[in-house]
Structure 1
Amino acid sequence: MRARATGQASVIADVRDACTPRSDVLRGGLEDKHFAAQLDQVVTGAGGYEAYADADQFFALTYPTRGLQDLLASTFSRLNPPAPGGGGSEPHPDARHAVYRYETSFGGGKTHGLIALWHLAKGARPSNIADFVDPSLLPDRPCAVATVVGDRLDPVNGLNDPSTGISTYTFWGEVARQLDPEVWSRFERSDRERTPPGKQLWMDAFERGPTLIVIDELALHLAQLASSQNPDVRRQEEATIQALKVLFEAATAAPAVRLIFTLATGTAAFSARTDKLAEAISSVSLECASEAAHDVMARSKGGVGRPADDYEIGHILRRRLFERVDNAAVEQALVAFKDLYAELAQRESQVLGAAGEDPASYCERIRTCYPFHPALIACLDQRIGPLPGFQRARGALKLLAESLAVLWSEPAATRAPLPVINLGDLPLSAGAVRSCITGGINRSEMDPPALADFAGEGAHAVAVDSRRWPQEQMARRACTAVFCHSVAGESHGATAADVCLGTLRPHEDPALLDEALGEALKVAWHLHFDSGRWRFRVEPNANKIVATEMANVSHTEITDELESKVRSLFAPSGSLHAVHFPAAPSDVTDAPRLQMVVLSPAEAVKPEEIAPPRLVRLIADRSGAAETHRTFRNGLVFVVAEKAHIAAAREKIGFELAAKRVVARQQKGDFSSAVVKKLKELAATAALESRMALSRAYQHVWWPERASDDGGVQLRLLPLPPADQGKASGAQTDRVLKLLRDYSKVRDSPPATDALSRSSGFDQSREISTEALARSPWRDPSQAVVLDPALIGKAVAAGVRNGTWVCHDAASGTVFTRQDPPNSVRIAEDVMLYTIERAGQLGLLVEPSADTDRRDPPDGPTQPGPAPGDGPTIGESGASSNDRSDPTESRVLEAHGSAAAALQKLDDAMRDAGAQHLSQVAVRVSAESGQGVQPFRVLGMCVPQLARFDVALKLDATAEFMEPSGAASIRFEGSAAACTPVFEAFWGALSGASDVAGSLTLTASQADAIAYDGPDFRQFAEVLRRAAPGHVTLSAKVAETAAAAPGQRAGPQ
């Protein structure tokens, strides 16, 4: 594992390699009593507490906290005070206090300390005793010991000792019974009559030798007395408090007596176990009783001790749960987290909360907490530990033991490395681990939210991770940390700092945590964010409300809405007609127009399918109910969905419909204003997402490319890019048109006359109507289609000008010839086109007069091609028609547009000119405002790919600079090889320019003429098409000596 920390990477050991849990922990399934015994059960030798009843085993599992050492040292210094001047250890400062109040805290709790005292007072001497107390302080013989646990006392039935048959009814009677039979005989009457004994009676009992009395949580007994329905029993509460006062005074006066007293720490847990009425009575009475007991304690001026300090909690956990911990791994983790937190504190300290103020000091806690992270310990101690039922030490140890059993059982090949075990790493997916929290604090209602949102196999955060963070599992870990901070109740929750400290590992960015929780919030059912805190609640959020409503949305409704959205996305647009969900060829009209055929979602294909579906093939080739051959085969474009995306779209649409229903119902006041706001946002988002899902689904586009050998049509497949999020309905129709234009299937300029002549059969029939001519591209799949009929009219006029045909408008009786061409031509059945020969045969040609002769051009063939402004033009520097055999002069054909469009226009011009060879071809790109040098760079990248050509470059550019203010110009022309170093310097110089204007021209030539239909030019065209440098000007010099006759086919095949 690598840790990103202040520029260097640290190696961190996986805790599962660095630590070995105890065997009973790895087996799992440990019960509560394995971690925290009940004092009375250990004293009486009850079964199941062997680890606590056996002194050697008990002390081996116990960490010697400072509080425990103080308790033992002060107690045995008082019970066995050194003789004056006898040497040995100095008495503990607290040895002067006969009464010692032992407070509880997390980890190594008070009961643990009391059991240690009991063992040693009864004479046990474990092998590691020196780790806990100076052996010289221990008495040579066992002490008199009495332990009383408040909740075992029974004022009505008595507490029976099976070994003697004696039953006691008061705490003083039970103490006397355990101290000695003779002492009991003197206290028996006080116990039977429920009357506190006097001080002297206690003093007499203490004269027998060192005496240890432990009274554990007597406040629970006081609550029992106060809540009794018997007034005589209730009066015992005051008597018990008075008896405590007398006992404290007697113990203080005696020389070798230590009385350990603890106050109840589980009052909320106790009162929560009663019914409502009893709970109220018990709580009030217990509160008063506790205050009285505190008052007595205060007057006794006793000592106060705590079992463990916060910094020792990690040591306690480590001793109980692990057999081995690698100290080198501790240091590795410390360094890695210290570097990470120092970097974060410098960059954005607020992300660490209070830890960001002094990250070095915070990280030192890793030394004592390892293999656990301090954030995990802090949450268990301060958030979950105080909750009723969790019982701090017992609950935490059980939770962590169950977690270790799960984490260590994960297969090594699939588990993610763990630098430490943090809140986000707790395997709450395991029921045994999860129940330690939800069951331990009596909040089992939090279990379903955990399973639904992050702990279950198909939980929402798990789904987010599978999409975004399959290895890191950022969403699941972040949600786990939030959950642990949420179980304490509505007032709690996790801040951004809580999530960061409880989740982030050294190699991770805190921004990912925000993103992970944001993604989870979109789909989770119980995750909420408000007032700067993340929370899990039992109450569902808007996502859950909508998800529940989805069960009421029928499949039919989803299908209807799905089809409606498809119709909206692929709506008709101008000259593009739409046919939705055809079932047979008869559903698609056979007409000379562009028709977008959108197949039903039920006809969706698998992503790997590249062959057109059967229905697409059938409609492309056939038409009508009789399924005869389709005439206008070139007018169809098919749009087909993909199955996986349709399934996702259905899910989104179902959610959208459910969200809209819930929003429509919110007027009834079912939800809070915050939930209503979120529901409206969900409805709007769902509508957008369902539209986007559909646009991703319909991505397969087929259109006719050429006629097939079997008389049908060969279809080409291309993906349709999805619409942008902000696009309104119908946006996909525009994208279909753009796709067709990008691949030159739809053209926005007049078609070449020779192509029209060939595709219409005019070159064979010698006559045709303009209506039939206009329909010809719709028949021929190899042709580009023209949506604007006026462009066909312009092409017809161009054909008249270049002598391809003579036009006769029967309605007006007008004949248009090369000498008298029209500006435009009407497209109709009564407007005929004839070859010159055929027109002469029909008597349509009139001999020119002398005046006409003077207007005619010189004899000889006239340059074919469109009129100026109608498309690609022949440069004025070209050779005249009388000098076509002169190779020193040639015509220049120019075309403008995108690379693909310009190449198409050049192809048209070459066909019209009947040219087959070029002497050179040039591409010019210009830098428009805001483009910078990008067009130049793209065109320059073509040079290495044109090794078959002699390439020259010409650069003419001006750059403007803001700072320093000014401008620079560069003009350079030469071979590509010579230009390369100049251009590299130029790109660097212009990196800081605010604007660039100018042009770059790439000229390609060969020693011999370039064959236009040869492999070299085809490679040139493909390189340019792929590079797509933006708007280009394409200039081609025709090699006239190799020119073909007008009308002869030219161009790359």
Structure 2
Amino acid sequence: MTTVTPWWKALKLRKEILSASGQIDDVQMSLFRAVHATGADRPPYADADYYGEITHPTERLIDLLTEIAVRIGGEDGYLKARAVTRLDQGMGGGKSHACIGAYHLATNPEALLSTELGQRVIERAATKMGRPLAGDLGRPHVVVLPCDNMTPGAPVPELDGPATNLYERFLWRLFSKDYTLFERYQPFWSDKHKIADAIRAVNRPTLIIVDEVLDYIGNGLDGANKLAAQDMAFLRALLDVVNDVPHVAMLVVMIASDTDKTALSAAAQARRDDLNSLLERNGMPTTVTGVGDFADILRRRLFDAEPAREVLSATAALYESVLTDKAWTKQVWDPIGANWRRSWPKEVATCYPFHPMLMSLAKEEWSKVTGFQRVRSTIRIFAATVYALQRRGRAGEWVPALIGPGDLPLSDSTVREALLGSGLVEDDRTIANYRSLAEIEVVNHDGSAGAARRQDLERPTSTWSKANPRAAERAATFIFLASIVGTLRPGRGRGASAPEVKAATSIPGTSYTITDADSVVDEMVNPSRGMSALDITPGQGNNKPARYFLSTRLTHRMLVNNIRRTITEAERDQVIAAFAKKLASSGPFRDLKFVSADPPRSPADVLATAGLDSAHSSRLIVLDPAQYSLRNGMEKPTLEALTVAMGLGQGAQQFPVQWASSAIYAVVNTQQRGIARGLAVEYLARQKALQAPEIQSDDELKATGTKELADAKTQLEKALKRAYQHVAYLAQPDPDGERYLDQLTFDKDNFTALDGMLVWKGLAARDKVFDAGQFSAKALLHNLRDHDYGKTLSDTRAAFYSAPRLPLLYGGDRDLQQAIYDAVSQGLISIVDGAGTEVAVTAPGQVNLSSTGLRLARPQPKTCSSCEQPTHEGRCSPSGSDAVQVGTPHEAGVPKPRKEETRGIGSGSNSTAMPAKDQQIAFSFTNNLLANSDRADEFAALFRAFYMALDERQISYLQGTIQLVIQAEAAEQIQQHLEGLGITATLKSI
């Protein structure tokens, strides 16, 4: 340790952190302040030089600024960059930081392009355009609309002049307060041509920055009907115009709907959906930071210089012995999956002065908690930590060589409050509870008390006590961190595992052994001497070590709230997929399939390789909501995937699909999916809460949890059924027309695409399928075309599954066999063999639909059984000559019996009875049944006969109107049956 320069000497904190005693105030950058603040209120980052100095050039930020630079300053190469970019990252993700960078790029390009960030932009722009970027970018003009600092209908005269609506505020800034130009274009708030002319009138490249637009168009516009219409019309026009005017770029900040929890009115939600669709159509969504940028952003933001390479390598070398120690490896490093050990020197160089284990905790766990603002919260916590630890080092106290997950000094109020106020804990009562636990169980404000701290202070001197004087405090601090994340850590489980706690106590070198770590942890978790609020889950062998959790004795609601924020999107989507599989029913469809999401692959690729093209099978295919949805401006990938799956793709997306006509797809609605996702999180939170020991050991909480879980399950099932309201299928209503992708949407709440029977009924109304009993011999002939005669039975069967002009059959092959049999029996069609010889049909089940030798043919002419001539009237002569005697006429329609054996169909008599003739019945009636019970019985008999005719499939067509005066209970039952038939009934009370 004495040969290595400690980090608190090797690195110098930025002066703004030192002057604020570790409380970094300007982490949350403000575009409004950077543009408009003056005097003492003007932040340091309002200077392009300082901004470039504190900004780590992440790949995404470089890409964003390069696109803007090329678009506004790339001369004739401007088309190589996108015009509209949307920043949709969640809170604390660096959106305002990026907007300020874009502002500096356009207003002071020489200053920004001279920084490290600017040089990277210059290099990438030259690569993109094939030539250097102009240093002044053509002297761009910048229009900044900081919507989070603008109130609809309440302009600020100093900034907005005479403007009132958003368009006028845009013009006032566009024309730099030129009143003449402002008046010229003022009336044309929705005229795309005039807006384009106004932008061109500046005669300079133009950058438009619209920050936090939802703050303006959301609830802020409620009640301002005229203003809302004008502002939304202007935004629609502007988003289209920007793409058409050369050297104009637009940067819009609006958090994605899935991550923005802002409560909006119905009107505000509609405006957000409208703008969201426009941004998806006209712009490219992007982010400017990722979890992989954490360490670099932190170091650039906290320290004013990079550490020396020799310091990095020497510090990494300090840990080699403990990281390779066999006992530590077996009992600690391997169980916790310490992947950072594999490239230790590189990880140290990346994370320094923070331990890779701490950085991993921030990236993989903290960043997934909903309320945690990834960049902003992490900077605050780590700034307070390095400041407090640097003060310790300068005071001659012990400071770790690398700041690990147990080294956040909870005795420092700034560190503690930065943690509790970071969003890792949202509930105020829980924050207060953990604030007390930090002082009582870990360490108090002056480092003199706390259960864990006392163990360190009272520990007898040992060989390692000076090298690791805060071992128990470090262990307790990590348990505290693992506990405040929530009852269940994402991907880890509840609380901290024993190997993780031991890892948090480790130091460089092997003077502190694994046996020492065991002793420290055992003392700390001892029920009588250790942390009293510790909830311990005993271990079960090497694969399930003991776990430790600081319990605050939460109510069930608080417990659910804490767990809710730890649920990952993957967990949420998994439970939705599981429920969708369980709720789906095939109905008349022969097969039910579920296509699971595969996020790394495109939706089209997933469907194309899912093995959905099954022969001779009607299939209801349920698509995973995690990857597929329709409507709300987010349906393009799904439509492309369905187009490919139905064989309608073009070029490289054209795949051979034979049986697309018999594949019906159930797809969720995007907006309804959002509701289902929220309820899935609620269900998971209650499910996990019910499993928590606090609930299982308390009968009252257990009863509450069980009831709420059942209610949450019911709500989720109901919402998921409602979400599946779209049905997609291959259609060709005109046999001579083109095939296309068609959709059926269920608008009623009790209809769902997960119910195969309801889907079938809906498709029957669209003539995509035949309902039960509808496919008769006449229906078969109606759907056959001239070219269908002469086809084999196998080809005919295949056509009903592959040709979209032919509806699908309710009973599948059985319905087709029956229809063919009935048609042959009635003389409407014939089945012939390869030689053209008619064969007999003896039973529906013997119609061999897989036959490639038997074919459908038009009915063959009937012949006289005596003279073998075409059917005629009169009597044949006894000798069988052509002479006809008057007397017994031939029976028309009776074919001559064949002497040959039948082939491929069955055996039996070839004679068939005269086909029955259909008759049309029409009748009307009006009767008062209140005082005539006999007449009621007679009508009951009539309708019973009517029912029997329907049940025996003797009725082929229905048309009529019936008016009844009926008791209310019976009316409700009849209405349900009518809805099942797709018939709308009119009910009124009398």
Normalization by structure 1: what TM-score? Answer: 0.44
Bigger Rg over Cα: 1
Normalization by structure 2: what TM-score? Answer: 0.47
